[in-house]
Amino acid sequence: MTTLAEIVTPQPVHPGRARWIGFRTIVLREYQRIIRIWTQTVLPSAVTQALYFAIFGGLLGSRVGPMGGFGYMQYIAPGLIMMAVNINSYSNVVSSFYGAKWGKHVEELLVSPLPSWLIVSGYVTGGLVRGLLVGIAVTGVSLLFTNLHVHHPLIIAGAVLLTSMTFALGGFLNALFAKNFDQVSIIPTFVLTPLNYFGGVFYSVSLLPHWARAISYFNPILYMINAFRYGFLGVSDVSVGIAFAIMAGAAVALFIIAIVLMERGSGIRE
């Protein structure tokens, strides 16, 4: 049997490298969780979006006609991808972090020397990973139904990253405050899905009456979907610059709030 006397003390790790290792460990753990339960994390969105494409794009879309100068299927594809990305980024973090709270293994992180900002960043990156994996899967599904041409790849990348981060942070805050599993599912079901539907996934807000369009401009998801759609099609209902300012502002604000709450121990410390 090996004894402690045989331990060769390794060289101390530089604090910056130690933090990087800690961050990478959280992300890797999240990635392994996503892959381990891929039938719950990746597959459902791919199937759901395939149904959207088949019903809204294929059956109904042919009667709707072109929108924004593009075929209906082509028009809704970016919105459907973005909807899958934002809901999955949110769901991943809220379910994973709340699950860790519920199972008490969040304490593994809380007793470790990892600073709060790094724990938040690790979980957000986990949400980003799931958002991107689902986004790739849904993009693959969409290519079965329509062609996607890329108008501006950097805008696509920027929009998907900022949106995914923002929603992952939202999921993190939800998990901090959640006291049971009902409170984990309320916001995705009753807030995010309606905001996505009214955020221009299936239509251009230019088709709405003036009052409805005015209300739509208060919906942050409208800006995310339109910026993403602009990256593919080059058309948008809103200014892409303003959309990026809103996405970046939301991400920064939520990140700061998450760190402050973690430092205060809200929802995680007694």
> Which residue's CB is nearer to another protein, number 110 or number 208?
110
33, 99 contact by CB (below 8 A)? no
Among 63, 104, 149, 210, binds another protein (CB under 8 A): 104
**Closest distance of CB 59 from another protein, Å:** 40
Q: CA-CA distance, 46 to 244, in Å (whole number)?
A: 27
Count of residues for the chain? 270
108 contacts another protein (rule: CB under 8 A): yes
Among 10, 65, 209, 241, binds another protein (CB under 8 A): 10
**Closest distance of CB 183 from another protein, Å:** 19
Among 77, 100, 173, 243, binds another protein (CB under 8 A): 100
Cβ partners under 8 Å of residue 82, min gap 6: 135, 159, 160, 163, 201, 224, 225, 228, 229
179 contacts another protein (rule: CB under 8 A): no
Question: Largest Cα–Cα distance of the chain, in whole Å?
Answer: 78
57, 73 contact by CB (below 8 A)? yes
Helix 116-145 vs helix 240-264: crossing angle, to nearest 10 = 140
177 contacts another protein (rule: CB under 8 A): no
> Which residue's CB is nearer to another protein, number 114 or number 238?
114
Q: Which of residues 21-60 bind another protein (CB under 8 A)?
A: 21-22, 24-26, 28-29, 32, 36
71, 146 contact by CB (below 8 A)? yes
85, 134 contact by CB (below 8 A)? yes
Q: CA-CA distance, 212 to 207, in Å (whole number)?
A: 10
Among 7, 59, 144, 154, binds another protein (CB under 8 A): 7
**Closest distance of CB 184 from another protein, Å:** 17
Residue 67, SS3?
strand
Q: Which stretch binds another protein (CB under 8 A): 11-19, 177-185, 217-225, 236-244?
A: 11-19
Q: Which of residues 115-134 bind another protein (CB under 8 A)?
A: 115
182 contacts another protein (rule: CB under 8 A): no
Q: Which stretch binds another protein (CB under 8 A): 67-75, 99-107, 132-140, 234-242?
A: 99-107
Among 63, 65, 111, 210, binds another protein (CB under 8 A): 111
Concatenate the DSSP letters of all residues of 109-174 into one string: HHTSS--HHHHHHHHHHHHHHHHHHHHHHHHHHHHHHS----S-HHHHHHHHHHHHHHHHHHHHHH
Contact residues for another protein, defined by CB under 8 A: 1-5, 7, 9-10, 13, 15, 17-19, 21-22, 24-26, 28-29, 32, 36, 100, 103-105, 107-115, 265, 269-270
